[in-house]
Amino acid sequence: MAAPTRTLYTASKHAITGFFRALRMEVRSKGIHICHVMPASVKTDFRSSAVDVTDPAKADSSKTQSKSAMSPEKCASLILQAAAMLEEEVYLPRYYQLAVWIGVLFPGLIEYFAAKKYK
Protein backbone atom coordinates (compact mmCIF):
# COMPACT_ATOMS: atom_id res chain seq x y z
CA MET A 1 0.00 0.00 0.00
CA ALA A 2 1.22 3.47 -0.79
CA ALA A 3 1.77 5.83 2.14
CA PRO A 4 3.17 9.31 2.68
CA THR A 5 6.96 9.32 3.31
CA ARG A 6 7.16 5.86 1.73
CA THR A 7 7.40 6.87 -1.94
CA LEU A 8 10.62 5.05 -2.86
CA TYR A 9 9.74 2.03 -0.73
CA THR A 10 6.28 1.83 -2.32
CA ALA A 11 7.70 2.12 -5.84
CA SER A 12 10.19 -0.68 -5.19
CA LYS A 13 7.43 -2.91 -3.76
CA HIS A 14 5.24 -2.36 -6.82
CA ALA A 15 8.19 -3.10 -9.10
CA ILE A 16 9.10 -6.30 -7.27
CA THR A 17 5.47 -7.47 -7.39
CA GLY A 18 5.41 -7.03 -11.16
CA PHE A 19 8.79 -8.72 -11.46
CA PHE A 20 7.68 -11.81 -9.52
CA ARG A 21 4.37 -12.06 -11.38
CA ALA A 22 6.16 -12.03 -14.75
CA LEU A 23 8.91 -14.39 -13.54
CA ARG A 24 6.29 -16.83 -12.23
CA MET A 25 4.72 -16.98 -15.70
CA GLU A 26 8.10 -17.49 -17.37
CA VAL A 27 9.35 -20.33 -15.17
CA ARG A 28 6.13 -22.20 -14.37
CA SER A 29 6.56 -24.55 -17.35
CA LYS A 30 10.01 -25.49 -16.02
CA GLY A 31 8.50 -26.67 -12.73
CA ILE A 32 9.81 -23.70 -10.77
CA HIS A 33 7.45 -22.21 -8.20
CA ILE A 34 7.55 -18.55 -7.14
CA CYS A 35 6.01 -17.65 -3.77
CA HIS A 36 5.93 -13.86 -3.31
CA VAL A 37 5.36 -12.97 0.35
CA MET A 38 4.47 -9.42 1.39
CA PRO A 39 4.72 -9.01 5.13
CA ALA A 40 3.44 -5.91 6.84
CA SER A 41 5.34 -4.81 9.90
CA VAL A 42 8.02 -7.12 11.30
CA LYS A 43 9.84 -6.35 14.54
CA THR A 44 13.20 -5.22 13.15
CA ASP A 45 15.15 -1.97 12.95
CA PHE A 46 14.27 -1.58 9.26
CA ARG A 47 12.09 1.51 9.84
CA SER A 48 14.86 3.35 11.67
CA SER A 49 16.27 4.37 8.27
CA ALA A 50 12.97 5.69 6.90
CA VAL A 51 12.91 9.24 5.54
CA ASP A 52 10.49 10.40 8.24
CA VAL A 53 12.85 9.39 11.06
CA THR A 54 14.74 12.55 11.93
CA ASP A 55 17.70 10.96 13.74
CA PRO A 56 18.29 7.26 12.90
CA ALA A 57 20.92 7.00 15.65
CA LYS A 58 18.26 7.86 18.21
CA ALA A 59 15.40 6.00 16.55
CA ASP A 60 13.39 3.94 18.97
CA SER A 61 12.26 0.88 17.01
CA SER A 62 9.21 0.55 19.28
CA LYS A 63 8.03 3.96 17.99
CA THR A 64 8.82 3.37 14.32
CA GLN A 65 6.88 0.16 13.91
CA SER A 66 3.30 -0.92 14.32
CA LYS A 67 2.14 -2.28 17.65
CA SER A 68 0.87 -5.27 15.72
CA ALA A 69 4.28 -6.01 14.17
CA MET A 70 5.03 -9.72 14.07
CA SER A 71 8.23 -11.31 15.26
CA PRO A 72 10.81 -12.28 12.64
CA GLU A 73 10.39 -15.91 13.74
CA LYS A 74 6.62 -15.82 13.20
CA CYS A 75 7.10 -14.18 9.80
CA ALA A 76 9.65 -16.82 8.75
CA SER A 77 7.34 -19.62 9.88
CA LEU A 78 4.44 -18.21 7.84
CA ILE A 79 6.68 -17.80 4.80
CA LEU A 80 7.79 -21.43 5.00
CA GLN A 81 4.16 -22.57 5.34
CA ALA A 82 3.11 -20.53 2.29
CA ALA A 83 5.99 -21.91 0.21
CA ALA A 84 5.18 -25.47 1.27
CA MET A 85 1.56 -24.95 0.19
CA LEU A 86 2.76 -23.59 -3.20
CA GLU A 87 0.98 -20.29 -2.68
CA GLU A 88 1.76 -17.57 -5.20
CA GLU A 89 1.10 -14.27 -3.39
CA VAL A 90 0.75 -14.03 0.34
CA TYR A 91 0.03 -10.99 2.48
CA LEU A 92 1.03 -11.18 6.13
CA PRO A 93 -1.06 -10.88 8.15
CA ARG A 94 -3.47 -12.50 5.74
CA TYR A 95 -6.29 -10.05 6.37
CA TYR A 96 -4.16 -7.35 4.65
CA GLN A 97 -5.38 -8.88 1.39
CA LEU A 98 -8.67 -7.14 2.17
CA ALA A 99 -6.89 -3.77 2.30
CA VAL A 100 -5.45 -4.45 -1.15
CA TRP A 101 -8.93 -5.06 -2.58
CA ILE A 102 -10.31 -1.97 -0.86
CA GLY A 103 -7.42 -0.01 -2.40
CA VAL A 104 -8.28 -1.33 -5.87
CA LEU A 105 -11.99 -0.63 -5.53
CA PHE A 106 -11.82 2.58 -3.47
CA PRO A 107 -8.37 4.17 -3.83
CA GLY A 108 -9.58 7.47 -2.39
CA LEU A 109 -10.57 5.75 0.83
CA ILE A 110 -7.09 4.31 1.33
CA GLU A 111 -5.52 7.69 0.55
CA TYR A 112 -7.85 9.36 3.07
CA PHE A 113 -6.86 6.99 5.88
CA ALA A 114 -3.16 7.13 4.97
CA ALA A 115 -3.24 10.94 5.04
CA LYS A 116 -5.05 10.84 8.39
CA LYS A 117 -2.56 8.37 9.87
CA TYR A 118 0.54 10.19 8.66
CA LYS A 119 -0.91 13.72 9.04
**Amino acid at site 79:** I
**In DSSP terms, which residues pair with 92 in a beta bridge?**
39
**Top-ranked range on mean pLDDT: pick from 6-15, 21-30, 100-109:** 21-30
- 4 or 37, which is more confident: 37
- Domain map (residue ranges) of the chain: 7-45+68-118
Centre a 10 Å sphere on the Cβ of residue 92 and count the other Cβ atoms it contains: 19
0.85 exceeded by the pTM? no
* pLDDT value at residue 114: 84
Quick check: 93 pLDDT over 80? yes
Which tens digit of pLDDT belongs to each residue from 52-67?
666 555 555 555 567 7
Quick check: 39 pLDDT over 60? yes
> What whole-number distance in Å separates Cα of residue 90 and Cα of residue 114?
22
> What whole-number distance in Å separates Cα of residue 68 and Cα of residue 26?
36
* pLDDT value at residue 53: 64
Selection from 39, 24, 30 nearest residue 78 by Cα: 39
